[in-house]
Amino acid sequence: MAKAFYITTPIYYVNASPHIGHAYTTIVADVLARFHRMEGDETFFVTGTDEHGDKIAAAAQSAGITPQEYADKISIQFRNLWPELAVANDYFIRTTDKNHVETVRSILQKVHDAGDIYFGQYEGYYCVGCERFYMEKELVEGKCPDHQTKPEYRKESNYFFRMSKYQEWLINHIKANPEFIRPERYKNEVLAFLREPLEDLCISRPKTRLEWGITLPFDDKYVTYVWFDALINYVTAIDYPAGEKFKKFWPVAEHLIAKDILKPHGIYWPTMLKAAGIEPYQHLNVHGYWNSDQSKMSKSLGNVVKPLDLKDKYGLDAFRYFLLRDMVFGLDSNFSEEAFVQRLNSDLANDLGNLVSRTITMAIKYCGGMVPKVKKEKYDKRLQDAAQKAVYDVESAFGEMALHKALIAIWEFINTTNKYIVENEPWTLGNDETNKGKLMAIMYNLLASLRAVAILIAPFMPGTSQKILHEIGAGDNQQMSLAAITKWDALTAGSTLTRGESLFPRVEKDMTEKVEIKSAVDLKPEIDYEEFARVDLRVATILAAEMVPKSNKLIKIKVDIGEERTIVAGIGKDYKPEDMVGKKIVIVANLKPAKLMGVESRGMLLATDTAEGLTVLSFDREAKTGAKIR
Ligand SMILES: [Zn+2]
């Protein structure tokens, strides 16, 4: 039965260009939207930009343009990025759109008429970065906890929304609907916040200090506070109050946000809706942050500037796969190019890419380039069951917004199919005519499995899904739904198979180093990574050092690498023993012990020649004693 599905991303604030966090949220929303469209649900997917407020006015001023020009400039960057990431939103909203301005004003008027907006005096500490007042107890050493800046003390008359009035209602609503805010940790965070008395929300800014906003309908000397304006986009986009879309989609609204905007979405927004006589949204889905260490990234693999650039370097579907597979929804994740390349090589190039290319190559060779004709009795029960299990698991993963779990389930099926090849060894049957029936059955089962994979991955990697369907000769009218996955007879015998380009070429990890080898440096013969990995390099802290008696060159050094060691190093002409103590250096920890002038040395330090003599390798940053060096 077709259902309705409404998914929103936050509307992104136009004070900065798009980054990895925006990309992640929006791609998750896109996968959910594609999945529900595939299932035949009536789907509406909205993203957009948030364009009013202090920060935009200030940024425009410093750029020497009007706030509207500034907002136009950044908004278009977001709008243009989404197609590049294969994001297929149904609507793009801007808070400067005329219909949005009207909706905000009508809701303000409604809440005002109901007596939930009042005029009052406000004084307090105002952080421009946060665009809000802080209570003294909320400040950390007198500074904004988010911006570490000293807020200004301001005193002004403003309009307030009676948020406090809805505190009990909100607590009860959250408790009665345990999935209202999910995952659970964020529900608990909101409930913890609601244990303290809820303050009323200041929802206006006097035009004497900010003009860039929506004018209050009941006092034209004020504009609307940016959050009270922005949140309303979720109903503007579906034609609140009287539109057909609003009736259809609002009861199933799914909001998707990062955890930094939990409070406006978990507290302001439901109480605003309640005051305006609108039912609460269905679910607030909250994810964590992507932590990316840019300096680490560029150091280790060379030339990557921004995470978004990895899309151009390694391909869009690999980029989408990595984001969706690596982040456990709700928790923080680390973004690094190494992790990306590792996933690309193992999951995509090895598991999926090889499965497709092996299967197509064999099918073309053994089946005359066509889908073979095979009787139903020859359908492999185990593969069909495995496909069915993937369908169940994917469905339940989507139900709980755990997209990483959906991908794990799909890869289980891919691996079952890879095992099927290994166990049946089609290549051993290829030469003997009497095995022909068996061979055709194996090839058909593999092609049917690829079809199942193509449908399963379609919401995540739409481009790759299409390529696989094309290679296995599945027509454009292929039924794409979970229910169609286990239809093993959906491939037409005689359809042409096509060998495509490698879906995910393997990325050689030492690509950058290889480039350097072409230079004129006289190098030792190449080794592979395994050989290098046999060398155990460690961070060593020097505990004590003294000259080896009767030697003018050898220093006996006591180091700590998690255990104490003595090493002997020939650096006595370049270093004084007393200057060595406390230094952190690099040693080869698994070098066979050797005796030098009667002193046993267990390990060797690393050093290089310079014009002024030897220099011992050390660290730019604080390294941990005993840490491995890679
Ligand atoms: Zn702040």
Q: Which tops the pLDDT comparison, 412 or 311?
A: 412
Residue 99 pLDDT: 97
Band (376; pLDDT cuts 50, 70, 90): very high
Range scoring the smallest mean pLDDT among 25-29, 112-116, 498-502, 523-527 = 523-527
* Catalytic-role residue among 98, 299, 376, 595: 299
Distance CA 275, CA 450 (A): 52
- What is the distance in A from the centroid of ligand 1 to the CA of 146? 5
Distance 125 CA to ligand 1 centre (A): 10
| 132 CA from centroid of ligand 1 (Å) | 8
Report pLDDT for 515.
35
The mean pLDDT of 382-395, rounded to a whole number, is: 97
pLDDT given at position 300: 43
Known active-site residue 19: yes
DSSP readout, 275-301? HTT-PPPSEEEEE-PEEE-HHHHHHHH
Give the Å distance between the CA of 147 and the centre of ligand 1. 4
182 compared with 630, residue with greater pLDDT:
182
Q: Which residues pair with 292 in a beta bridge?
A: 335
- State residue 26's pLDDT score: 97
Report angle CA 32, 34, 38 to the nearest 5 degrees. Answer: 115
Q: Which position among 55, 100, 144, 467 bears the catalytic label?
A: 144
- pLDDT-derived band at 562, boundaries 50, 70, 90: confident
Report the mean per-residue pLDDT for the chain: 90
Question: According to the 3-state scheme, what is the secondary structure of 467-521?
Answer: HHHHHCCCCCCCCCCHHHHCCCCCCCCCCECCCCCCCCCCCCCCHHHHHHHCCCC
| Average pLDDT score over residue span 294-299 | 43
Per the listing, tokens 């307030």 go with 160
Q: What distance in Å separates the CA atoms of residue 254 and residue 249, rounded to the nearest whole number?
A: 10
Query: CA separation (Å) from 244 to 241, 248, 279?
Result: 9, 6, 16
Residue 134 CA to ligand 1 centre (angstroms): 9
Mean pLDDT along residues 581-599: 87
Q: Tell me the CA–centroid distance for residue 421 and ligand 1, in Å.
A: 58
Q: How far is CA 313 from CA 11, 310, 318, 344, 354, in A?
A: 28, 5, 10, 12, 21
pLDDT on residue 293: 59
Q: Which residue has the higher pLDDT, 57 or 295?
A: 57
The predicted model gives 35-39 an average pLDDT of 96
Name the active-site residue from 147, 150, 365, 576.
147
User: What is the Å distance from ligand 1's center to 144 Cα?
Assistant: 5
Task: Quote the pLDDT of residue 510.
Answer: 55
Q: For residue 544, what is the enclosing H or E element?
A: strand 537-547
Cα(46) to ligand 1 centroid in Å equals 28
Q: Residue 374 pLDDT > 60, yes or no?
A: yes
Residue 511 — pLDDT band, cuts 50, 70, 90? very low
pLDDT at 12 over 60: yes
**Is 147 an active-site residue?**
yes
pLDDT at residue 426, as a whole number: 94
Q: What are the tens digits of pLDDT across the range 98-142?
A: 999 999 999 999 999 999 999 998 888 988 888 778 888 889 899
Residue 202 among the catalytic residues? no
Q: Tell how strand 181-182 and strand 283-287 pair up.
A: parallel
Contact 310, 337 (CB under 8 A): yes
- Among the listed residues 22, 52, 255, 584, the single catalytic one is 22
Is 20 or 416 the better-scoring residue by pLDDT? 416
- pLDDT above 50 (res 28): yes
How many whole angstroms from 361 Cα to the centroid of ligand 1? 59
DSSP 32-61: HHHHHHHTT-EEEEEEEEE--SHHHHHHHH
pLDDT above 70 coverage of the chain, percent: 95
Q: Based on the residue annotation, tell me whether 299 is a catalytic residue of this protein.
A: yes
Say which of 130, 207, 306, 405 is annotated catalytic.
130
pLDDT, greater one: 434 or 512: 434
Give residue 347's pLDDT band: very low, low, confident or very high (50, 70, 90).
very high
Q: Report CA(477)–ligand 1 centroid distance (Å).
A: 53
Taking only the tens place, the pLDDT of each residue in 208-260 is 989 999 999 999 999 999 999 999 999 999 999 999 999 999 999 999 999 99
CA 61 to centroid of ligand 1, rounded, Å: 20
More confident residue, 320 or 291: 320
* Spacing, Cα 259 to ligand 1 middle (Å): 16
User: For position 87, what pLDDT does the model report?
Assistant: 97
Neighbours of ion ligand 1 (CB under 5 A): 127, 129-130, 144, 146-147
Catalytic residue among 52, 100, 127, 265: 127
Please compute the mean of the pLDDT values over residues 517-535 and round it to a whole number.
Answer: 66
What is the mean pLDDT of the segment spanning 145-165? 92
Q: Per-residue confidence at 282, pLDDT binned at 50, 70, 90?
A: very high
Q: Which residues contact 575 (CB under 8 A, 6 or more apart)?
A: 555, 614, 616
- 402 versus 516: which is more confidently predicted? 402
Predicted confidence (pLDDT) at residue 514 exceeds the cutoff of 60: no
How far is the centre of ligand 1, averaged over its atoms, from the C-alpha of 409 (Å)? 42
Please tell me the distance between residue 89's alpha carbon and the centre of ligand 1 in angstroms: 32
Distance 489 CA to ligand 1 centre (A): 60
Distance 436 CA to ligand 1 centre (A): 72
Start-to-end CA span in the chain (Å):
55
For ligand 1, the distance from its centroid to the CA atom of residue 145, given in whole angstroms, is: 7
Q: Which of 150, 175, 296, 375 is catalytic?
A: 296
Q: For residue 301, what pLDDT is reported?
A: 43
- pTM for the structure as a whole: 0.78
Q: 127 catalytic, yes or no?
A: yes
* pLDDT given at position 296: 44
3 state DSSP class of 255: strand
More confident residue, 629 or 355: 355
